[in-house]
Amino acid sequence: MRYLPNTPQNQRAMLETIGARGVEDLLVKIPAKARLSRPLALPPALAEGDLIRHLRGLAGKNADADTWTCFLGAGAYDHHVPSPINHLILRGEFFTAYTPYQPEASQGTLRTIYEYQTMIAELTGMDVANASIYDGASSLAEAVLMAHSINGRAEIALAGGLNPLYRRVVETYVDGPGLKLRDVPSPEGVVDLDAARRVVGAKTAALVVQSPNFYGCLEDVAAAAELAHAAGALLVAVSDPVNLGVLEAPGRQGADIVVGEGQGLGVPLGFGGPYLGVFAAKNEFVRRMPGRLVGATVDLDGNRGFALTLQTREQHIRRAKATSNICTNVALCALMATIYMATLGKAGLVRVGELSTAKAHYAAERLSAVPGVSLRFAQPFFKEFALRLPRPAERVAARLARQRILAGLPLKTFDRKLGDCLLVAVTETRTKDEIDTFADALATAVA
């Protein structure tokens, strides 16, 4: 079998060295009554060609963004992935290495993470970024726990525009530590600052604000930071790093911790994972940060070298008192993002943002011009917006699907009051023709 090199002859020689008659002799410690007396009930092994055929069959049953026109967003975006990324990450020295515990033999991984940390810190306007958390939601959950550990307060205020799926993950994580979540309403699509002032107080560890928020609306992060700080609380900003070519860095708007989903930075849509949890904070909080950190230092000869550092905060040393239980990061996704940011570069990331918002605004204009259709919220937006439709959004989306258009996310599952709304995202990869086709199809679908 091609992944098992040792032949019966090899095995015999090895058993002889060990002094065992067969592999069974080596398995004596497994209690006899627990030994499986039958083969595992699994489908028969497939030869490579057959396996490919089978998997192509499964893949063919999915409406992917190559063969359908994708206007879905809500935390995952169809941004263009430059061609070099895939080639570079497939280099075996990158993708078959593991955690850089022996730094001398892992300088490739360590240097790319250091570059990643630098670029994320720069984009978010923060002092330090870690080597990544699992995804945007778990990153936020870790940030909330970190805020609690910094100031000891037990309440977390969440702005109403927070991605509802993120909110669920935060709920799950704060259950053990017993923190209390308090929601700040966003009736007009952005957080009501007066309501926030009533919720954020002396018991609040952090105020969490997402911008652009789940509905695509831009939030006043600076105002939120001011009111959080006035109450002695931290400001946790949830941000999409791809937008930060054009949008202001949350660090310069007063954020203490910045988290978000880095999937748009060259990580495939991949039906939801693996993704990339971005995490950055101010220097004064660095020792409370979860996750891995790579630092620069020198070797015995005085040459520059890189190593994991401040590891004593992590689970393998601090154990029950660790800042988090996280062990792996998403190193390969962070590498994709690093190469993406290097490839797009200073000017390119600005262009991605400009094109995305340009296409989104054009789409909003054309779509809301369809009779009966309007923008749900009268707020500035970036690359995503909610449309109010004259018919249930799910049905409209189903009709558009017949033309291979993934029209957007019907919001009913997340908020029954928005049952007539569709969340539409537009990136730089959508063309004017695609948008025009969408608008024409929408007109028919709601007529």
Name residues contacting another protein, limited to 89-128 (CB under 8 A).
90-109, 111-115, 117-119, 121-123, 127-128
| Cβ proximity of 237 and 253 under 8 Å | yes
Q: How far apart are CA 406 and CA 122, in angstroms?
A: 34
Question: Residue 54 interacts with another protein (CB under 8 A)?
Answer: yes
CB of 198 to another protein, least distance (A): 24
Among positions 407-446, residues that touch another protein (CB under 8 A) are: 409, 413, 428, 431-432, 435
Q: DSSP letter string over 75-88?
A: T-------THHHHH
CA dihedral 402, 439, 367, 77 (to 10 degrees): 60
39 makes contact with another protein (CB under 8 A): yes
Least distance CB 363 / another protein (angstroms): 9
Residue 317, interface with another protein (CB under 8 A)?
yes
- Looking at 150, 231, 342, 446, which residue binds another protein (CB under 8 A)? 342
Told to check if 312 binds another protein by CB under 8 A, we report yes
Q: Taking CB under 8 A as the criterion, which residues in 61-90 touch another protein?
A: 61-68, 70, 72, 74-76, 78, 80, 82, 84, 86-88, 90
User: Distance (Å, rounded) from C-alpha 108 to C-alpha 120?
Assistant: 18
Give the β-pairing of 204-210 and 155-159. Answer: parallel
Question: Using the rule CB under 8 A, which residue among 321, 371, 402, 416 binds another protein?
Answer: 321
d(CA 128, CA 319): 24
Q: Which of 345, 285, 337 is CA-nearest to residue 135?
A: 337
Of 151-159, 181-189, 195-203, 405-413, the segment contacting another protein by CB under 8 A is 405-413
Of 228 and 326, CB closest to another protein: 326
> Judged by CB under 8 A, how many residues of this single chain contact another protein?
212
Find all residues with CB under 8 Å of 44, minimum gap 6, and list them. Answer: none
How many CB atoms within 10 Å of residue 351?
14
Instruction: Determine the interface stretch with another protein among 130-138, 182-190, 194-202, 368-376 (rule: CB under 8 A).
Output: 130-138
What is the residue type of 220? D
Q: Which of 148, 153, 292, 376 binds another protein (CB under 8 A)?
A: 292
CB 118 → another protein: shortest distance, Å? 4
- Contact residue for another protein among 191, 349, 373, 405 (CB under 8 A): 349
Q: Is 421 helix (H, G, I), strand (E, B) or coil?
A: strand
Q: By CB under 8 A, is residue 330 in contact with another protein?
A: yes
CA 401/CA 429 separation, integer angstroms: 19
Q: Is 300 in the site for another protein (CB under 8 A)?
A: yes
CB under 8 A: which stretch of 51-59, 148-156, 180-188, 202-210 binds another protein?
51-59
Does residue 27 belong to the site contacting another protein (CB under 8 A)?
A: yes
CA 411/CA 215 separation, integer angstroms: 9
CA gap 356, 299 in Å, rounded: 45
With tokens 């952005």, the residue in question is 190
Q: Per-residue x/- mask for another protein, residues 169 to 188, rule CB under 8 A?
A: x-xxx-xxxx----------
From 63, 64, 69, 68, select the one nearest 426 (Cα to Cα): 69
CB of 249 to another protein, least distance (A): 7
Q: Which is nearer to another protein, 112 or 204 (CB)?
A: 112
Q: Whole-angstrom distance between the N-terminal and C-terminal Cα of the chain?
A: 60
